[in-house]
């Protein structure tokens, strides 16, 4: 968007002293296609022919200026879960072209806002993560309170059933789970052993967050 381009060309350039503004703009233009994926800094470094540490520094700068935000993986209590890496999302959601990725980005943004609100209001120490195993099973989001998992959330634009990964990770962590979908007729609950997974329309569910 014109706002982010102005942000990079003016605010970031003036406040950070970064000279390669054109290359940073190119990096930002590549990020919508990375939304919701495990980010490969080496691949970005190679594609832009810039040093790894430079790309890492620019990504941190884009986060500081609220162009993107990132989630770290959660591994405690999940067998074979990855411990390193990050997923990134854009604050400017419409820049994400793929409908499924844009839906996931929108959910990430609303959950991130809720976590920030809860922390600012002193309700506890909340954080937002994702879970991904070495065999590439993944649940998009895990809400954590005071270092303890509290809620699994998966975002699937059209799926009307919980993913196998959501079922598996709920079994491992023993926490409530929600499958957010783009369109659904109200809420449904699906039994998962002694627990339940709620299928919910994203617009209604997210509207209930602070």
Q: Is the pLDDT of residue 45 over 70?
A: yes
Closest of 194, 193, 197, 108 to residue 161, by C-alpha: 197
Average pLDDT over residues 55-75: 91
Is the pLDDT at 1 greater than 90, yes or no?
A: no
pLDDT band per the 50, 70, 90 thresholds, residue 209: confident
Asked if residues 209 and 113 have their Cβ atoms less than 8 Å apart, the reply is: yes
Q: What pLDDT score does 26 carry? A: 86
Confidence check: pLDDT of 36 > 80: yes
Residue 210 has pLDDT above 80, yes or no: no
Lowest mean pLDDT among 87-91, 129-133, 174-178, 205-209: 205-209
Give yes or no for residue 9 having a pLDDT over 70: no
Confidence of residue 4 (pLDDT cuts 50, 70, 90): low
- Residue range 94-153, pLDDT digits in tens: 999 999 999 999 999 999 999 999 999 999 999 999 999 999 999 999 999 999 999 999
Q: So what's the pLDDT on residue 23? A: 80
Using the predicted structure, report yes or no on whether residue 43 has a pLDDT greater than 70: yes
pLDDT at residue number 206: 93
Q: What is the mean pLDDT of the chain?
A: 90
Top pLDDT among 15 and 157 is at 157
């Amino acid at each position: 968007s014109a706002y982010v381009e102005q942000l990079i060309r003016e605010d970031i350039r003036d406040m950070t002293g970064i000279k390669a503004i054109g290359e940073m703009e190119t990096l930002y233009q590549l990020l919508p296609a990375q939304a919701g994926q495990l980010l490969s800094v080496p691949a970005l470094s190679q594609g832009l022919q810039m040093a790894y540490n430079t790309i890492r520094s620019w990504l941190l700068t884009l986060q500081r200026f609220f162009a993107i935000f990132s989630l770290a993986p959660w591994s405690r209590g999940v067998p074979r879960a990855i411990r390193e890496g990050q997923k990134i999302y854009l604050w400017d959601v419409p820049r994400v072209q793929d409908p499924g990725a844009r839906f996931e980005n929108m959910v990430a943004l609303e959950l991130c806002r809720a976590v920030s609100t809860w922390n600012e209001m002193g309700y506890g120490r909340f954080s937002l993560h994702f879970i991904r195993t070495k065999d590439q099973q993944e649940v998009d989001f895990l809400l954590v309170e005071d270092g303890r998992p509290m809620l699994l959330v998966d975002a699937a634009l059209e799926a009307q059933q919980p993913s196998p990964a959501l079922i598996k990770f709920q079994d491992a962590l023993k926490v409530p789970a929600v499958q957010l979908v783009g369109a659904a007729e109200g809420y449904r609950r699906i039994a998962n052993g002694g627990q339940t997974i709620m299928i919910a329309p994203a617009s209604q569910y997210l509207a209930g967050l602070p």
